[in-house]
Amino acid sequence: MKTIALGPHRLGGPENLFFIAGPCVIESAEHTLRLTAALRTLFTDLDRPFIFKASFDKANRSSLQSYRGPGLVEGLRILAEVKLTHGCPILTDVHECAQVGPAAEVADILQIPAFLCRQTDLLVEAGRSGRVVNVKKGQFMAPWDMINVIAKIESTGNSDIILTERGFSFGYNNLVVDMRSLAIMREFGHPVVFDATHSVQLPGGAGTCSGGNAEFIAPLSRAAVACGVDGLFFEVHDDPANALCDGPNAFPLAEFAAHARRLLAVHAAAHGGDTHES
């Protein structure tokens, strides 16, 4: 298993379970900084690698009226402030090649959204940035098809790649998680992440927005840890009912610390004891 150096941490391998967490989209500078502070404190206490995630633009919302975010310039300014203030690595999405350069100046990890995981030009441009590239497996993709995605990025000489499972289309407005996907993709030699919150999304299920079955986040994430996943991805919000994006599948901040501790207990049991970083 390849490991990826990110600040003082290494991502990948059974001893290095890491967390990617934050709101779906940047709602305001104040909210983003406040949420980052809470998450950073939690993961410092847990002694676990933590990457803050938030999008500056959600380009594939269900409705034209849906909130998309502050946009590239203002969004990256806020993320830069988060990084300067709290010192945590940053992950954000890019949707087109022109966004890669500016985003790479701020973000440590560039994320390719699931719907764009086959877009050759975008994958190559992200690889050329020199940043870690996290690719979300499309809802229409078999896990073994991701080997071609890896090859596109590696063609640039960049092998710092993470693959993220976020569920597979299961009829209309529904997703299902095949846990075999986690083991299959890990065979490719790159860290694999389970997106516990988008995997319970109901895309477009609420008509003009997506719905979600948040009650399944906890059991699915526990199962993923038991399967040997390298990292976990959570959309976390302090007020999911009033979140501007993906509230129905966000994990409540107030409950997140207890859940993270349960996941670490599962992780330790699955790997034969304490697997904290040394």
- Domain ranges for the chain: 4-270
| Alpha carbon of residue 169 to chain centroid | 18
18 contacts: CB under 8 Å, gap ≥ 6: 9, 11, 48, 49, 50, 51, 230, 231, 232
How far is CA 107 from each of CA 6, 31, 43, 51, 83, rounded to the nearest angstrom?
12, 19, 19, 10, 9
Structure confidence by residue, pLDDT tens digits, 178-229 = 999 999 999 999 999 999 998 888 766 555 455 667 899 999 999 999 999 9
DSSP code of 278?
Answer: -
pLDDT at position 278 is: 33
CATH of 4-270, one of 1.20.1260.10, 3.20.20.70, 1.10.260.40, 3.40.50.720: 3.20.20.70
State which residues of the chain have pLDDT below 50.
208, 275-278
Cα distance between residue 52 and residue 25, in whole Å: 12
190, burial (CB in 10 Å: exposed 0-12, middle 13-18, buried 19+): buried
Strands 132-136 and 161-165: parallel
The secondary structure element, H or E, covering residue 218 is: helix 217-227
pLDDT at position 277 is: 42
pLDDT at position 16 is: 87
As given in the structure block, the two tokens for residue 116 are 């764009």
End-to-end CA distance of the chain: 18
